[in-house]
Structures are given as structure tokens and as C-alpha cells.
């Protein structure tokens, strides 16, 4: 009897899903969701502001609850699942990473733009010194060719990353593009490979399966599809699909469905679906968390949010440049006035 293929899942609803809730998670909500994920035997649960540790700000969005209280709450109700945190160098620092580790976080996911892995060195080194499982997280991976991604993944591996992720932050990749990126990494780096999808083009599941087929063994999902833009690969659906394929996750399918239906669905302000704005995120290749910011700017300047997102895509604006959204909207409004 051959051994079943295995993948390890990281649940991102308590971090990426923070975008969809305008970073308004409460301790009680995090406790309830983390407890359900722990009971369903999800290996890792990511908890942080949507833009990672120290992300609560006017630029990225103020959190309702201090993220360290949320991390502490998740750790307190998990005895199987390990709590992970995301850190984007330039937003979060080693200080916040140490604080998260002291509260019980076991995994650090260090995220950079796909061509800027060199800025992760200090934080990957620090995470390893703290005894944390460490992930290199290459965001906006649609903006680099496979050869460049391999170069950047090698850097993260050299700093000590245990896993390196291809991250489709804009939900812009097509399945064949995922395959070429994961295969190129599989052939050249010696650590595990992960994949993080967004569903803006309705391809999160297809892209995730393409990644697994090409060699990824670490996969992100979000219960009830709760994430930025149109959300991420839907965890409970992914668990069922992988089981049908004979791929082992160790996650309880029924408990994930119940958690999605009974706990997560009631807290969603609106159902996670592909709206015109989230569709344009994927089409234009724009960071998924920009959707709400663009909508607010569109209302302020009496514009169509899609026009703002398309222009941001044309300018190749990336995560961390949220201030550009208002600047672009103001420029478009000025042009509109003179037409």
C-alpha cells in the first residue's frame, strides 16, 4: 500500500480575513474561531493585523483590538494547532516578533515583495534564533518570472527559512503560471514550498491544486473564504477536495464545515464573493487588500473604483503603498474635471 500524499494547511482567516472585517476582530471572535480550528486539527493558525504585526495604523487600517491580545487569546485555546504570525519588514520589527513569540506564537511568516527578499534577512535570522518555524513569503508573485522567484527564494533559504511561499497576493496568476513557478522552485531549492492564493479571478482552488501537483506541500486556506479581495482558497472546501484526491491533511472535514457555517458566516459583513472590484484586482494585478481602500477613495472623489484599481495596476503599485490610492484617485478626479 502506497503512503498517501500529505500537505500541511495554514488557516489565514484570523490574519488575511482581518482585511474583510476592516481589522475589527474581537478577542471573543478569535477565541471561538481558533478553538474550532484547533478541534478540527488544523496544523497552523495565522493571527495578526491584515498587514502583519504592527500593521494597525491610519495608512493600513486601525485594529479594534490590539493584535497581541488576539494572539494571546488564540494561543490560550489551542493545544494542537500552532499559532503563526505574519511580519512585513518595514511595518513590523524584531521587537514585535519577540513579543509574539513570548506570547506563544510558534511560526513566523516573513513577507516581502517578490523582488525584495533581501530585506527579510534580519527578521528570518531573528525568528530562527527565537526557535520559531520560519517561512519566507514572496508576495505579488505574478510580478516576477520563475527565474527571479527562484533567485529570491534562494536568498530566503540562505537566511534560514524552513519554507518559502509563492504568494498570489493579487489573485492574478493563472494555473499554468503557478505550475511554472512552483516547479522552478522545486528543482532548485532544498526547503519546503508553500502557496497562498486569492480568489479574485475565481482561480484560488485551481491554482492551489496546480501548486500541490507541482510540488508544494504547505498550503494556505481561509475558512468561509474569509480574506482580502474575494478571499482565499476556502479551507473547508479544500479539505474535502484533497480528501477526494487521496491527499491527506489530517483536518476534520465535518468540523471545518460546521465552523464555517455556524461561527464564521455570522460575523461576515457581506458574503465573500467575486464582486466587480475584486474581479478587477485580479485582472489588473493589484494587491487584494486595496479593494476597500479604493472603494473609499472612489466615494470621496466621485469615481468608479475600478478605474482607480486599473490605474494602480498600470503603475505597478504594491503592498505598502496604500497612500498611493488616494493620490491616484485625486489625479483621476482632476482629469475627469477637465474632460
Q: Which residues are catalytic?
A: 19
Q: What is the C-alpha to C-alpha distance for residues 81 and 62, in angstroms, rounded to an integer?
A: 27
Please name the residues in contact with 133: beta carbons below 8 A apart, sequence gap of 6 or more: 82, 106, 107, 108, 162, 163
**Location of C-alpha cell 488575511:** 16
Q: By the 8 A CB rule, do 43 and 283 touch?
A: no
Q: How far is CA 193 from the centre of its chain?
A: 15
Q: Known binding site for substrate: residues?
A: 15-16, 169, 196, 287
Please name the residues in contact with 198: beta carbons below 8 A apart, sequence gap of 6 or more: 168, 169, 170, 171, 204, 227, 228, 229, 230, 231, 232, 281, 282, 288
Q: What is the C-alpha to C-alpha distance for residues 224 and 268, in angstroms, rounded to an integer?
A: 9
Q: Known binding site: residues?
A: 15-16, 169, 196, 198, 287
Neighbours of 262 (CB within 10 A): 11
CA angle 241/242/245 to nearest 5° reads 95
**Shortest CA distance to 311 belongs to which of 301, 324, 302, 292?**
324
Q: What is the C-alpha to C-alpha distance for residues 30 and 43, in angstroms, rounded to an integer?
A: 16
Neighbours of 244 (CB within 10 A): 8
Neighbours of 188 (CB within 10 A): 15
Q: Known binding site for Mn(2+): residues?
A: 16, 196, 198
Q: What are the start-end ranges of the E strands in the chain?
A: 5-6, 8-11, 44-46, 82-87, 107-113, 133-139, 163-167, 192-196, 218-221, 247-248
Is 269 exposed, middle or buried (CB count within 10 Å of its CB: 0-12, 13-18, 19+)?
Answer: exposed
3-state secondary structure of 167: strand
Amino acid at each position: 500500500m502506497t503512503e498517501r500524499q500529505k500537505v500541511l494547511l495554514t488557516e489565514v482567516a484570523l490574519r488575511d480575513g482581518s482585511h474583510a472585517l476592516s481589522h475589527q476582530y474581537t478577542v471573543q471572535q478569535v477565541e471561538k474561531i481558533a478553538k474550532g480550528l484547533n478541534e478540527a486539527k488544523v496544523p497552523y493558525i495565522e493571527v495578526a493585523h491584515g498587514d502583519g504585526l504592527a500593521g494597525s495604523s491610519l495608512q493600513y487600517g486601525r485594529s479594534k483590538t490590539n493584535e497581541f491580545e488576539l494572539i494571546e487569546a488564540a494561543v490560550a485555546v489551542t493545544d494542537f494547532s500552532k499559532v503563526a504570525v505574519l511580519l512585513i519588514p518595514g511595518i513590523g520589527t524584531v521587537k514585535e516578533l519577540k513579543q509574539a513569540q513570548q506570547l506563544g506564537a510558534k511560526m513566523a511568516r516573513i513577507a516581502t515583495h517578490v523582488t525584495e527578499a533581501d530585506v527579510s534577512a534580519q527578521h528570518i535570522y531573528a525568528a530562527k534564533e527565537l526557535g520559531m518555524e520560519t517561512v519566507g513569503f514572496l508576495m505579488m508573485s505574478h510580478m516576477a518570472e520563475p527565474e527571479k522567484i527562484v533567485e529570491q527564494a534562494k536568498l530566503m533559504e540562505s537566511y534560514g527559512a524552513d519554507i518559502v511561499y509563492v504568494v498570489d497576493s493579487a489573485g492574478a496568476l493563472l494555473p499554468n503560471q503557478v505550475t511554472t513557478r512552483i516547479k522552478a522552485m522545486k528543482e532548485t531549492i532544498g526547503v519546503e514550498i508553500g502557496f497562498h492564493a486569492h480568489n479574485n479571478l475565481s482561480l484560488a482552488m485551481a491554482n492551489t491544486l496546480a501548486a500541490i501537483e507541482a510540488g508544494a506541500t504547505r498550503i494556505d486556506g481561509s475558512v468561509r473564504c474569509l480574506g482580502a479581495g474575494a478571499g482565499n482558497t476556502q479551507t473547508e472546501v479544500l479539505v474535502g477536495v484533497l480528501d477526494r484526491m487521496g491527499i491527506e491533511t489530517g483536518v476534520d472535514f465535518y468540523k471545518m464545515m460546521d465552523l464555517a457555517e455556524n461561527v464564521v458566516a455570522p460575523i461576515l459583513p457581506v458574503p465573500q464573493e467575486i464582486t466587480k472590484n475584486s474581479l478587477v484586482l485580479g485582472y489588473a494585478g493589484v494587491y487584494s487588500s486595496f479593494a476597500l481602500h479604493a472603494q473609499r477613495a472612489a466615494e470621496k472623489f466621485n469615481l468608479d473604483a475600478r478605474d482607480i484599481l486599473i490605474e494602480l495596476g498600470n503603475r505597478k503599485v504594491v503592498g505598502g503603498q496604500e497612500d498611493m490610492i488616494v493620490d491616484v484617485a485625486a489625479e483621476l478626479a482632476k482629469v475627469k474635471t477637465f474632460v
